[in-house]
A and B are shown apart, each in its own frame.
Chain A
Amino acid sequence: MERPAYLPDFENPPLTEVVLGVQFSPPNEYQQIYAWQVWDLYREKYSKVQEQPPLPPTFETFGIPRIMQPNIGFTNGPLHDRYWFLNEREDELIQFQQDRLLHNWRKAGDSSNDYPRFEKMIKNFEDELLKLEEYFHRVSQQNLNINQCELTYVNSIPLKQGQTEEGSKPENWVELLSVNKLQFEHFVSQYTKIIKANDQPVARLVCDCGTGFDQKRNPIIILNFTVKGPLPNNNGTISAAVKFLRDGRDTIVLSFDEITTEFAHKQWGKK
């Protein structure tokens, strides 16, 4: 499937990481000891493995508008680790735990690795999901029952390095940062937006925007977008998840284009 023509396109956007993810009901017969079998599904390309703490379940619900309460973990028995299956260059990885599969691309090493583009990532992720579903079917005669999808774009906008005076001002890149006239030392913000279909909430867009520093202590703007939500009609199939992620990509790209300035677009080679 080709990239929609109506989407803004940039030659070199400040993208540093993209994450595609699904959450599903843990299959009945699966246990953590089988995680190596899951790794086997992807090992040919993702030959390295790391263990990470598990991610708690997450759900997007709608009703009384309020900021979510802090996400405190329940204490209970055995927890399933989150495994990172990394490729050789460690710029792509698959994250797996008993109720999650995610695929990350990130800038790595000398950051010369190019973003493979969403169309390629979604195709690979769909294949990975199909492999996982086939495996779960062998283990527990169950299909993947996906209940939540998430797509995240992480952008890092350098402020000082190689920039003109104009380029060193945060408000010249992101309109939200026009509060810089207050001459803040540091700024952090988040907004959320309900995404609707037929006037009903179907997903949530979260935008994190603020200032920070990169590994070399150079000032940057962090601009992250996440679209997350359930699948329509509780249709927990892989094809429904792929559609959600495609729609999410559209929302993110349009939001990114909307919140950033013409100056920024010129720097990033907007087509």
Chain B
Amino acid sequence: MTRTTAFSPELESVMNFKVGPEVATSSTNSPVRRGNHNRQSNWYTMAFIKLNYLRNLESGWDGYRGKPVSEQNAYFALSMLTKICTDDTPAPHIIPGSGGDLQIEWHTTKGDIELNIIAPYKVNVWIDYKDHEEEIELTLGWNFDSIAEHVKKITE
């Protein structure tokens, strides 16, 4: 969470501090990026644009009772992707579900990965390598260490 403290405006404005975990503020409160790690990756930009679009789907977008992707699911998806993708990872496909949920997927000649975000911290994972018979299926919460390696193998 960004810091939610009820600091008085005077104190907060003179603090040369990160207001939240990600953004540094100067004394004028304009956002300042730190280091070269904050360079926007291409996949991040693409994912953000697509999620923003999916957040604005109209009700009934699927011809039935479809809802736009929920705010929490969209932010969770981005957070998850930052722990899975390197700068070189190609942008994933992002498909909305009817209930505000979504699915993130990659499909290459090496295999397929589908990350079905049911809700924040509840992700059904399916991985199918083209040269393996056995598929991988598991449910993850917040630790995506194991998935990062699979994404790398399938997309490189």
- Direct A/B contact, Cβ within 8 angstroms: yes
Q: Interface residues, chain A, CB within 8 Å of chain B? A: 17, 19, 21, 23, 25-26, 55-64, 66-72, 74-77, 84, 93, 95, 99, 102, 104, 106, 147-148, 150, 152, 154, 186, 188, 190, 192, 200-201, 206, 208, 210-215, 217, 222, 224, 226, 228-230, 234
Q: A67-B38, A69-B44 are in contact. Are A104 and B4 (CB under 8 A)?
A: yes
A201–B148 CA distance with the chains assembled, in angstroms? 16
Listed stretches B90-98, B104-112, B126-134, B138-146; interface member = B138-146
Contact mask for chain B residues 1-31; partner A; CB cutoff 8 A; 1 contact, 0 none? 1111111101100111110111110000001
Smallest distance from the beta carbon of A28 to chain B beta carbons, Å? Answer: 11
Known contacts A61-B76, A106-B7; 5 additional CB pairs below 8 A are A19-B5, A68-B22, A75-B56, A188-B16, A222-B15
> Is the Cβ of B21 less than 8 Å from the Cβ of A68?
yes
Smallest distance from the beta carbon of B91 to chain A beta carbons, Å? Answer: 14
A58–B76 CA distance with the chains assembled, in angstroms? 7
5 CB contacts below 8 A, A to B, read A63-B144, A76-B71, A104-B4, A147-B121, A212-B15
> Is the Cβ of B145 less than 8 Å from the Cβ of A62?
yes
Smallest distance from the beta carbon of B34 to chain A beta carbons, Å? Answer: 7
Q: Does B122 contact A (CB under 8 A)?
A: yes
> Is the Cβ of A72 less than 8 Å from the Cβ of B48?
yes
> Is the Cβ of B4 less than 8 Å from the Cβ of A208?
no
A71–B75 CA distance with the chains assembled, in angstroms? 9
Q: Does B154 contact A (CB under 8 A)?
A: no
> Is the Cβ of A61 less than 8 Å from the Cβ of B144?
yes
Q: A19-B4, A215-B8 are in contact. Are A71 and B52 (CB under 8 A)?
A: no
A68–B20 CA distance with the chains assembled, in angstroms? 11
Of all chain A residues, which has the CB nearest B71? A57
Q: Interface residues, chain B, CB within 8 Å of chain A? A: 1-8, 10-11, 14-18, 20-24, 31, 33-35, 37-38, 40-41, 44, 48, 51-52, 55-56, 68, 70-72, 74-76, 78-80, 82-86, 119-122, 141-145, 147-148
Of all chain A residues, which has the CB nearest B77? A59
Chain A CB within 10 Å, residue with most, of B14, B21, B37, B122: B21
Residues from chain B with a CB closer than 8 A to the CB of A222 are: 15, 17
> Is the Cβ of A59 less than 8 Å from the Cβ of B18?
no
Of all chain B residues, which has the CB nearest A18? B5
> Is the Cβ of B4 less than 8 Å from the Cβ of A106?
no
A/B pair count, beta carbons within 8 Å: 181
> Is the Cβ of A99 less than 8 Å from the Cβ of B21?
no
A211–B27 CA distance with the chains assembled, in angstroms? 13
> Is the Cβ of B1 less than 8 Å from the Cβ of A63?
no
> Is the Cβ of A66 less than 8 Å from the Cβ of B72?
no
Partner of A74, one of B17, B52, B142: B52
A77–B70 CA distance with the chains assembled, in angstroms? 12
> Is the Cβ of A25 less than 8 Å from the Cβ of B21?
no
A154–B3 CA distance with the chains assembled, in angstroms? 10
Partner of B147, one of A23, A63, A224: A63
> Is the Cβ of B147 less than 8 Å from the Cβ of A17?
no
> Is the Cβ of A99 less than 8 Å from the Cβ of B72?
yes
A224–B147 CA distance with the chains assembled, in angstroms? 32
Q: A67-B34, A68-B21 are in contact. Are A104 and B5 (CB under 8 A)?
A: yes
Residues from chain B with a CB closer than 8 A to the CB of A224 are: 3
A102–B38 CA distance with the chains assembled, in angstroms? 29
> Is the Cβ of B82 less than 8 Å from the Cβ of A61?
yes
A17–B147 CA distance with the chains assembled, in angstroms? 38
Residues from chain B with a CB closer than 8 A to the CB of A192 are: 21
Q: A61-B142, A99-B72 are in contact. Are A66 and B82 (CB under 8 A)?
A: yes
Smallest distance from the beta carbon of A216 to chain B beta carbons, Å? Answer: 9
> Is the Cβ of A234 less than 8 Å from the Cβ of B121?
yes
> Is the Cβ of A152 less than 8 Å from the Cβ of B4?
yes
Smallest distance from the beta carbon of A58 to chain B beta carbons, Å? Answer: 4
> Is the Cβ of B56 less than 8 Å from the Cβ of A56?
no
